[in-house]
Amino acid sequence: MSTLESLKETVKRELPVWLESDPAFREAILALTNHRYSPRAETSDWFHQTLEEMRRERERQDALWRKNDERLEREHLEAERKWEANQAELAALREEQNRKWEEQNRKWDANQAELKALHEESLALGKRLDRSIGSLGARWGLRSEKAFRDALAGILEKTFGVEVLNVCEYDDDGEVFGRPDQIELDVIIRNGLLIMCELTSSIDKAGIYSFERKARFYERRHDRQANRLIVISPMIDSRAIDVAKRLGIETYGEPEEVSNEA
């Protein structure tokens, strides 16, 4: 080993002892190396400055967190307010819908009562017709309502060259009389035209309403619009004529009076 290397090793080994035991030597060494290290006061100032900056940064971050928490709280409260408003609106809509349903049910019940009354009136009319069919049959030389209707149908077919069909269908949903029942209707077919006809010995206001409902039932069932609605009867109540006009139904006292036009 060279002398220089040996000297370095000796210094490394003995330096801690010299520094500890010889103050003057220690000060000399510190003086030689102080340019490489910051003074204690400067280091202390830097340390405290760093701590202060860290404290301010933490306070800034805390302020940001508090601000963010306040924003989130406001948004949460606003969301709750909107939710409560929506729930109140939905409750109001449900209440309004329930009111409308109750109103519809009330109207439905009223309509059912009216249909029942009309049906009962039709039944009463049928009974009156049954009692008077004998006298009517004497006038027309017929003995039953069916014969009367058949005779009128024959006149129409012979006079105008049309086809008169007696349609019997069952109203399962009770659209006409308010309950399921057999529906009977005369249908006239001529050159592709559809004419619905009520051939009867007599008819009153209730009979006109009944015929109109039967005609609309047939149109819905067969998805076909009638070109004309006609009532032919030698005995038409004056009040029934007014109702027929409002409903767009033609009335004739004799089959020969029926217009030959569509």
Residue 199 burial (CB count, 10 A): 23
> Is 126's pLDDT higher than 70?
no
Q: How far apart are the first and last CA of the chain?
A: 139
SS3 197: strand
> Is 197's pLDDT higher than 70?
yes
Domain boundaries, the chain: 115-257
Confidence of residue 143 (pLDDT cuts 50, 70, 90): very low
Q: How is residue 35 annotated by DSSP? A: G
d(CA 161, CA 159): 6
Give the strands of the sheet with 181-190, arranged side by side: 163-171, 181-190, 193-199, 228-232, 250-252
* Block residue for tokens 């209730």: 206
> Is 30's pLDDT higher than 60?
yes
| pLDDT tens, position by position, 201-221 | 788 999 999 999 999 998 898
| pLDDT tens, position by position, 80-106 | 888 888 888 888 888 888 888 888 888
Identify the residue with better confidence: 135 or 147.
147
Looking at residue 247, what is its pLDDT? 92
| pLDDT tens, position by position, 66-76 | 888 888 888 88
Looking at residue 246, what is its pLDDT? 92
What is the percent of the chain with per-residue pLDDT over 70, rounded to a whole number?
A: 80
Q: How is residue 141 annotated by DSSP? A: T
Residue 240 burial (CB count, 10 A): 23
Identify the residue with better confidence: 195 or 48.
195
**Residue 223 phi, psi dihedral angles, 5° rounding:** 50, 50
CA dihedral angle for residue 120, residue 124, residue 125, residue 126, rounded to 10 degrees: 100
d(CA 129, CA 136): 9
Name 196's bridge partners. 187, 229
Average pLDDT over residues 22-51: 71
Question: pTM here?
Answer: 0.43
Average pLDDT over residues 211-235: 89
Identify the residue with better confidence: 213 or 131.
213
**What number does CATH give the domain 115-257?**
3.40.1350.10
